[in-house]
Structure 1
Amino acid sequence: MIPWLPAGSDFPPPEHALDDPNGLLAAGNDLTPDTLVRAYRLGVFPWYDASQPILWWSPNPRCVFRPGDFHISRRLGRHLRGADLSFHGDRDFAGVLDQCAAPRDEDGGTWITAEMRAAYLRLHGLGYAHCLTVDQDGALAGGIYGVQLGGVFFGESMFSTRTDGSKSVLAMLWALAPRLGIQLLDAQVESPHLMRLGAYLMPRADFQRELDRLIPDPSPRPWPKGPFRWREL
């Protein structure tokens, strides 16, 4: 059983999360900015659909990237150098949310409910949530959004409308990582796609220690707007 949390409650220790389903920690609480910032600082994130209460997760192990780990294949490298790509920070955050929420499978479902959308828009307005997008030949080709606390970027979702759109955005995110102060990217749960790009699995205890080390101060920080071009870095 998992605990039910009244609004504004503290979270139980992440190590209390269930093994099956992996990482389910609690239900309830709310999606106010204060609650979300406290959750992310603990390595806890919300994930649920419209038919469920708010569910909070802390998977073990955790899928993560470090800046030097991202694998740029020869094909992706040629695309980054040769295509007409322009990257932008924090441009049309609401539009990025909507692209990420678009149904991608036969059931037409999405975990980015209206409640979640409003919550991340509030975080963006406060400077905690950010997005990076790429245009190809002047049209939107891909993007990512997430939450940054200290030196950690908690990636929430990506999308592509053109081939290699999301891969290009991840590559640029790591190219900009020193400027953004990012030392670790949380990708939450492993997938073959992420592992091929250089992600690896970190035990929850090690992940918690990294959060303590990399988030001495959770204050929001601005992102540069760009545009950025790969061949100009």
Structure 2
Amino acid sequence: MTIYLPQLTDDPQFFPNVEKALQEPDGLLAIGGDLSPQRIFNAYRNGIFPWFSAGEPLLWWSPSERATIIAGEVHVSKSMKRFINKNHMSITVNHCFSSVISACAMPRATQAETWISEQMIDAYIELHRMGFAHSIEVWHEKKLVGGLYGVCVGQTFCGESMFSQMDNSSKIAFIALNQHFQQAGGKIIDCQMQTGHLKSLGVQTSCRDSFIQNLMVTKDEAIKTTCWDQQQIKIQLTK
């Protein structure tokens, strides 16, 4: 069966309506274009993200189901609370974005290659320099052991990837992001695809229409200007 995909134009503002995304493979919307900061940021503002392997053409996606969590509603299990209290890790914001995305790009034990190519790394580092992409870092004994990065669109944070080089360090980064973003006035954290790892933290799935409606409400709303300043943050634990 032949699959027709719209080819993106030179206009970084142009994307097809997400309702035109394919059912199989789920969410595939368009092909081509480039990874300019303007195009990537505009994609996120419309509920679209790039995802492709090295050597493939640029592919743009908006799946029929979206994994999201309301900022401030992260689930911290009793065992996780004990782990956090026992292991005194420090958490920072935007201290070493390039190191975080490079660590996220390293192949995992369950996969032979990564979708975060050098082209993607360069594009998101430029987004970071422009103030759109941000990182959370987790440190243990002054060594970077975990973190995540993503793109902030108003009161929605679009998470892209996370990494862990020590037990639970990526979970700590996610919990810290969730609390910090909520305290700054953030509303939604978009995790794109559901996983067991994310589900254990309280991430839920909703239909694309619901996600897009929430995105349209939040994408032009401001958060505290100090949210993404370089700083150290702490996880707040309730008994």
Same fold (TM over 0.5): yes
1:126 aligns with 2:130: yes
* AA in 1 matched with 2:107: P
Distance 1:80 1:220 in 2: 27
Q: Which residue of 1 aligns with 2:190?
A: 186
Q: Give the SS at the match of 2:79.
A: helix
- Tell me how large the CA RMSD over aligned residues is: 2.1
- Secondary structure in 2 matching 1:81: helix
Note the residue ranges of structure 1 that are not aligned, 5 or more in a row: none
Alignment partner for residue 173 of structure 1, among 154, 165, 177? 177
- In structure 1, how many angstroms separate the alpha carbons of the residues matched to 2:186 and 2:222? 13
Tell whether the 8 Å contact from 1:149 to 1:220 is kept in structure 2 after alignment: no
Task: Give secondary structure in 1 for the equivalent of 2:233.
Answer: coil
CA distance in 1, matches of 2:224, 2:40: 13
Q: Distance in 2 between matches of 1:79 and 1:177?
A: 22
Aligned length: 233
Aligned pairs (5 A) from 1:11-160: 11-105=15-109, 108-160=112-164
Q: State the SS of the aligned residue for 1:3.
A: coil
Q: Secondary structure at the match of 1:230?
A: coil
Equivalent position of 1:229 in the other structure: 234
Q: Any idea what the Cα deviations from partners look like across 1:64-87, whole Å, max 9, x if unmatched?
A: 011243111111111222321111
Q: Distance between the aligned counterparts of 2:155 and 2:5, measured in 1?
A: 30
- Following superposition, the deviation at residue 150 of structure 1 comes to 0.3
CA gap of 1:117–1:75, structure 2 versus 1, over 3 A, is: same
Q: 1:138/1:204 Cα in 2 relative to 1: closer, same or farther (>3 Å)?
A: same
Q: Deviations over 1:111-139 (max 9, x none)?
A: 11111111101100000000001112322
Match of 1:162 in 2: 166
The structure that is helix-richer by fraction is 1
Contact map agreement 2:150 2:158 (CA 8 A) in 1: yes
For 2:231, the aligned partner's letter is G
Pick closer, same or farther for the CA change 1:98–1:11 going to 2, 3 Å.
same
Identity %: 35
Q: How far is 1:59 from its partner?
A: 0.6
Query: Structure 1 residue runs of 4+, over 6 Å off?
Result: none
